[in-house]
Amino acid sequence: MAFFQTPPELGNTFDDDRMLRSYLARKLPGDARAPIERELREAGAISGGPLYRRSLVEGRDEPKLVPWDAWGHRVDRIELSPLWREAQKIAAERGVVGAAYERKFGEWSRVLQFSLVYVLEPSWHVYSCPLAMTDGAARTLVASGNAALVERALPRLTSRDPEKAWTSGQWMTERTGGSDVAISETIARPDGDKFRLYGTKWFSSATTSQMALTLARPEGNPPGGSGLALFYLEVADNNVFVNRLKDKLGTRMVPTAELTLDGTLAVPVMGLRDGIKHISPMLTTTRTWNAVCAAAGMHRALTLAADYAKKRVQFGSALAEKPLHVDTLGWCVAETWGAFLLAYRAVELIGKEEARTLTEEDASLLRLLVPIAKLTTGKQGVAVASEALEAFGGAGYIEDTGLPRMLRDAQVLPIWEGTTNVLSLDVLRVLARGGSLEPLAREIARCAASTKDASLRGAMETATRALEHAGQWILAHAGDKSTVEQGARRFALTLGRATELALLCEHAQWALDHEKDARFAAAARTLARTVIDQIQDVPFEDARALLD
Ligand SMILES: Cc1cc2nc3c(=O)[nH]c(=O)nc-3n(C[C@H](O)[C@H](O)[C@H](O)COP(=O)(O)OP(=O)(O)OC[C@H]3O[C@@H](n4cnc5c(N)ncnc54)[C@H](O)[C@@H]3O)c2cc1C
């Protein structure tokens, strides 16, 4: 009875990341590469070392709500986990939000910033959540042109000083709904040149933040989305009451709360109408974070599973020698690298937009890519986390291995910041507002033009054909709103998976040419063997019948 299984281990999470390093080598201009890699290597040492070890030990150290002090005063204090307090410090000092706004590397600043997110995220218990909203709030304030608010909040939201740095909440969801926020019930009553807000916010994930952006309906405004305004508020001593913390499946270190606003002083960010429209930079940002974090989580789950496969011996040899196990993990790699490239394509374009080097064509591509990347990678994140857990057998189901958390945390990716269905409908809305599939067709054609190797031809054709099929389908049903709506998820996932495959072929060609590395080509072929084209006409009566 002397056997003890060696657990999986992590190294430097930057150095060990084949995809990220190859991508940076391909994309970054010469003078930016060394300093960016240096920062990521430092972050990778923290993430794969002390932070990862703490995340295993402190996995049950959840936030606590202290509603009253010893003398009966209502305090609504939330005590964060020690790991989260450490994450706050690391995030500020390393510029995990700030690097994007410092623009030290021009249009590549976003690649640096999101790579910091990607390297650190799986080791700090979803601290990305408040950071994503902080980044989103900063971008929204900048886009609003509200100089007073920019002057007050931006230096704090982007600060590298942990003592000065702020985070921001995004309070949109109410009991009425998170998808259909147009029916929100919070009202705003004028109070001098400010407003006082009254209502309940049903999900607030960054409750310990210093500020929030939120939606409320100024009294007298009409119902519906256009009658909502976007407000800025600071949380301390401002009639914000924490009703309770949510008891969640995952993201358990994130203090998600239900709040009552009872006369909370707030300032309109941009007029007194069209709040949903004005908060859209926030959503573009948080959805991109979601996609990058999905790829990061997949990569972490896979890295641990691959390491374990070398150590775990069953039926006479390591799992890494078993053809079926290798086949299973190979699929995980292909999904992960596809997700990475799709998420990073959105990141690149956001970087260009902020550096004002974005072309009109790129801008229309970005509008489509963000919802597509969020919804596609969210689904992949859950599937790969689930498969990776299974790759550990029973150990994958046991809490103190730290493994089950990966699946629970992944399950939020397709839900918050817009569910898969809601984002699929968003893709249709982009098309209806004068968009077309042309930007994606150009993107896939660009990838096809650079993919020359015969071993990649079939995979590239699969991507091209899937996009063409999606285009034919949407055209054929142009006048049939309900058929298009019913098929929107299959349509959007086809666009996402086809784009991933094309980007993977493009990268594979580059890696063959410049790194003599055939692994990305193998990944592209593997991805091409999965279901890329999901377009189908499913009779509505069939679905209906199943629910009756
Ligand atoms: C851990 C966590 C943290 C969160 N943090 C925050 C936060 O900080 N701030 C915040 O504002 N919100 C937050 N949310 C809320 C989150 O954004 C919403 O839960 C999400 O947007 C979905 O809204 P809902 O819960 O109202 O679901 P619903 O809108 O009721 O959706 C239910 C189902 O119906 C589907 N559906 C909805 N509309 C349609 C349609 N038209 N056609 C087809 N299908 C449809 C959805 O896809 C989903 O499957 C958080 C949620 C979670 C789980």
Q: Each residue of 469-525: pLDDT tens digit?
A: 999 999 999 989 999 999 999 999 999 999 999 999 999 999 999 999 999 999 999
Q: Is the pLDDT of residue 354 over 90?
A: yes
What is the rounded distance in angstroms from the CA atom of residue 439 to the CA atom of residue 158? 32
pLDDT-derived band at 401 (thresholds 50, 70, 90) equals very high
What mean pLDDT is predicted for residues 221-246? Answer: 96
Q: Ligand 1 pocket, 108 CB below 6 A?
A: no
- Confirm if 366 and 353 have CB atoms less than 8 A apart: yes
Per-residue 3-state assignment (H helix, E strand, C coil) for 268-290: ECCCCCCHHHHCHHHHHHHHHHH
Helices marked H in 396-437: 404-410, 420-432
Q: Ligand 1 pocket, 415 CB below 6 A?
A: yes
Q: Ligand 1 pocket, 177 CB below 6 A?
A: yes
pLDDT of residue 494: 98
Q: What is the mean pLDDT of the chain?
A: 96
How many DSSP H helices and E strands does the chain contain?
A: 20, 11
Q: Is the pLDDT of residue 528 over 90?
A: yes
pLDDT of residue 235: 97
DSSP line for 183-202? G---EEEEETTEEEEEEEEE
Q: Is the pLDDT of residue 185 over 90?
A: yes
DSSP letter at 429 equals H
Please report where in the chains the tokens 């629970």 appear, as a residue.
408
Q: Is the pLDDT of residue 156 over 90?
A: yes
Q: Ligand 1 pocket, 173 CB below 6 A?
A: yes
Q: Is the pLDDT of residue 255 over 90?
A: yes
DSSP line for 23-64? HHHHHS-HHHHHHHHHHHHHHHHHIIIIIHHHHHHTTT---E
pLDDT-derived band at 207 (thresholds 50, 70, 90) equals confident
7 sits in the region (left: phi over 0; alpha: psi -120 to 50; else beta) called: beta
Q: Ligand 1 pocket, 422 CB below 6 A?
A: yes
Q: What's the CA dihedral at 89, 90, 92, 93 to 10 degrees?
A: 110
Q: Is the pLDDT of residue 115 over 90?
A: yes
- List the beta strands (DSSP E) in 324-373: none
DSSP line for 436-486? -SHHHHHHHHHHHHH---HHHHHHHHHHHHHHHHHHHHHHHTTT-HHHHHH
DSSP letter at 239 equals S
CA of 181 to the centre of ligand 1 (A): 10
Closest-CA residue, ligand 1 atom 41, reads 422
Q: Ligand 1 pocket, 207 CB below 6 A?
A: no
Q: Is the pLDDT of residue 380 over 90?
A: yes
Q: Ligand 1 pocket, 134 CB below 6 A?
A: no
Q: Which residues pair with 217 in a beta bridge?
A: 187
Closest-CA residue, ligand 1 atom 52, reads 416
Per-residue 3-state assignment (H helix, E strand, C coil) for 204-216: ECCCCCCEEEEEE
- Confirm if 311 and 8 have CB atoms less than 8 A apart: yes
CA of 138 to the centre of ligand 1 (A): 23
Q: How far is CA 435 from CA 439, 440, 485, in A?
A: 9, 11, 17
pTM confidence score: 0.97
User: Percent of the chain at pLDDT above 70?
Assistant: 100
pLDDT-derived band at 435 (thresholds 50, 70, 90) equals confident
Q: Which residues pair with 264 in a beta bridge?
A: 197
Helices marked H in 47-164: 52-57, 82-94, 98-102, 109-120, 128-144, 147-157
Q: Is the pLDDT of residue 206 over 90?
A: no
- Confirm if 226 and 184 have CB atoms less than 8 A apart: no
pLDDT-derived band at 221 (thresholds 50, 70, 90) equals very high
**Side chain identity, residue 205:** S
- Confirm if 143 and 101 have CB atoms less than 8 A apart: no
Closest-CA residue, ligand 1 atom 5, reads 205
CA of 400 to the centre of ligand 1 (A): 30
CA of 173 to the centre of ligand 1 (A): 8
What mean pLDDT is predicted for residues 433-462? Answer: 96
Strands 240-245, 257-268: pairing kind? antiparallel
Q: Each residue of 79-97: pLDDT tens digit?
A: 999 999 999 999 999 999 9
Tokens representing residue 344 in the block:
């990073």
CA of 318 to the centre of ligand 1 (A): 43
Q: How many CA atoms lie within 13 A of 80 on its CB side?
A: 19
pLDDT of residue 199: 97
pLDDT-derived band at 279 (thresholds 50, 70, 90) equals very high
CA of 89 to the centre of ligand 1 (A): 30
What is the rounded distance in angstroms from the CA atom of residue 539 to the CA atom of residue 537? 6
DSSP letter at 226 equals G
- Confirm if 110 and 351 have CB atoms less than 8 A apart: yes
pLDDT of residue 264: 98
- Confirm if 80 and 63 have CB atoms less than 8 A apart: yes
**Side chain identity, residue 485:** E
Strands 187-191, 211-218: pairing kind? parallel
pLDDT-derived band at 434 (thresholds 50, 70, 90) equals confident
pLDDT of residue 470: 98
Q: Is 128 helix (H, G, I), strand (E, B) or coil?
A: helix
What mean pLDDT is predicted for residues 183-204? Answer: 96
CA of 407 to the centre of ligand 1 (A): 19
- Confirm if 206 and 289 have CB atoms less than 8 A apart: no
- Confirm if 339 and 500 have CB atoms less than 8 A apart: yes
What is the rounded distance in angstroms from the CA atom of residue 336 to the CA atom of residue 377? 9
Q: Ligand 1 pocket, 276 CB below 6 A?
A: no
Q: Kindly provide the b/e burial profile for residues 501-537, where b requires at least 16 CB atoms within 10 angstroms of the residue's own CB.
A: bbbbbbbbbbbbeeeeeebbbebbbbbbeeebbbbee
Picking from 433, 434, 493, the residue whose alpha carbon sits closest to that of residue 467 is 493
Q: Ligand 1 pocket, 421 CB below 6 A?
A: yes
Q: Is the pLDDT of residue 59 over 90?
A: no
